[in-house]
Amino acid sequence: MKGEVMALYSPTEFRAQFRVADFAATGALFEFMLTVDGEDPAALVARFRTYADLPFVYVLVVHQVPLVLEVLAALKAIRSPCYPYALFFVDSSGTAALPDLATKSLDLDILHVAGSETDRLIHQVEAYAGAKFQCDKQVLQRNNQRDLPEAVDVVVVGAGVTGLYAARRLKEKGLTCCVLDERDMVGGIWSRYANRTSQVNSSEGAYRLIEKQTRCNRDHSTTREILEDIAQLAEETHDRLYLQTRVEQVRKSGDGYEVRLTRDRQAVRLKCKGAILAINDRVGAPRKIQWKDEARFQGPILSGFADSTAGFDWRGKRVAIVGMGAFAVENARTALEGGADQVTVICRRHGTVCPKIIDYLNFATPYDQDFKHPRKSNMRNMLLWKNLYKLSGATEPECWMGKIKHDGHTISVSDIWFIAHHLKKLHTVKGTVAQMDQKGVVLDQGRFIEADVVVNCVGFERNAPVAKALSAYAETYNINYLDKDLMYLADAFIDDNAFNSFFGSSVLEMAKFYLEVYLHYFDTPAFDTLISAQGIRKVPIEERCWSHYIQGAEALVRQFGNIRQIAERQVAQRTRNFLEVHDLPAYLAENRREWIDTHSLLAGRPMRTEECLAYVFDKLLDEK
pLDDT score of 95: 61
Length of the chain: 624
- Cβ pair 129, 57 in contact under 8 A: yes
Note the pLDDT tens digit of each residue in 508-527. Answer: 999 999 999 999 999 999 99
Question: Which distant-in-sequence residues (6+ apart) come within 8 Å of 158 by Cβ?
Answer: 179, 180, 181, 188, 277, 278, 279, 280, 490
> Crossing angle of helices 561-581/546-559, nearest 10°?
110
- Measure the CA–CA gap between 98 and 388, rounded to whole angstroms: 51
- Nearest CA to 428 among 537, 552, 344, 318? 344
Instruction: Tell which CATH architecture fits domain 294-459.
Output: 3-Layer(bba) Sandwich (3.50)
CA distance 355 to 350: 16
Instruction: Identify the weakest region by mean pLDDT among 34-48, 252-266, 423-437, 588-602.
Output: 34-48
Identify the DSSP state of 222. B
Select from 502, 542, 499 the least CA-distant residue to 368: 502
Average pLDDT over residues 171-184: 96
In the chain, where does the domain assigned CATH 3.50.50.60 lie? 140-284+462-576, 294-459
Q: Which SS3 state, helix, strand or coil, does residue 376 take?
A: helix
Integer CA distances (angstroms), 352 to 182, 406, 521, in order: 35, 8, 38
Distance of CA 381 to the CA centre of its chain: 22
pLDDT in tens, 353-389: 999 999 999 888 888 888 888 888 889 999 999 999 9
Residue range 236-257: mean pLDDT, rounded = 95
Which of these, 119, 162, 148, lies nearest to 280 by C-alpha position?
162
78: nearest Cα among 48, 102, 33, 54: 48
Residue 39 contacts by C-beta under 8 Å, 6 or more apart in sequence? 67
Sorted by sequence, the CB contacts under 8 Å of residue 461 that are 6+ apart come out as 284, 285, 286, 287
Strand partners of residue 441: 436, 449
- Give the Å distances, CA to CA, from 532 to 476, 552, 556, 567: 14, 12, 11, 20
Distance CA 437, CA 448 (A): 9
Residue 401: is the preceding peptide bond cis (ω within 30°)?
Answer: yes
Helix, strand, coil share of the chain (percent; to 5): 35, 20, 40
Q: Which of 317-321, 375-379, 602-606 has the lowest mean pLDDT?
A: 375-379
Q: Given phi > 0 = left and psi -120 to 50 = alpha, else beta, which region is 134?
A: beta
Read off the pLDDT of residues 228-246 as tens digits, 9 standing for 90 and up.
999 999 999 999 999 999 9
Is pLDDT of 8 > 50? no
Q: Are 389 and 448 in contact (CB under 8 A)?
A: no
Half-sphere exposure in the Cβ direction for 154 (13 Å, CA)? 28
For CATH 3.40.50, list the domain ranges present in the chain.
4-134
Give the per-residue pLDDT at 94.
62
Q: What is the mean pLDDT of residues 606-621?
A: 91
H or E stretch covering 56: strand 56-60
For the entire predicted model, the pTM comes to 0.94
pLDDT at 622: 66
CATH superfamily of 140-284+462-576: FAD/NAD(P)-binding domain (3.50.50.60)
Measure CA 243 to chain center.
24
CATH number of 4-134: 3.40.50
Rounded Cα gap, residues 433 and 109, in angstroms: 51
Q: What is the pLDDT of residue 97?
A: 65
Predicted confidence at residue 620, as pLDDT, reads 82
Q: Residue 443 pairs with which residues in a beta bridge?
A: 433
Report how far residue 533's alpha carbon sits from residue 199's, in angstroms, rounded to the nearest whole number.
38
Distances (CA, A) of 278 to 195, 413, 510, 515, 583: 22, 25, 13, 11, 34
Res. 6: pLDDT tops 70: no
Contact 335, 319 (CB under 8 A): yes
What pLDDT score was predicted for residue 623?
62
* The dihedral sign for the CA sequence 469, 473, 475, 477: negative
Q: What is the pLDDT of residue 107?
A: 92
Q: How far is CA 351 from CA 302, 326, 345, 389, 399, in A?
A: 21, 9, 11, 13, 9
Q: Identify the pLDDT of residue 274.
A: 98
Confidence of residue 1 (pLDDT cuts 50, 70, 90): very low
Nearest to 205 by CA among 582, 546, 624, 587: 582
Query: Tens digits of per-residue pLDDT, 453-475?
Result: 999 999 898 888 899 999 999 99
Nearest 5°: phi and psi at 338? Answer: -85, 0
Q: At what angle do helices 161-172 and 223-236 cross, to 10 degrees?
A: 40
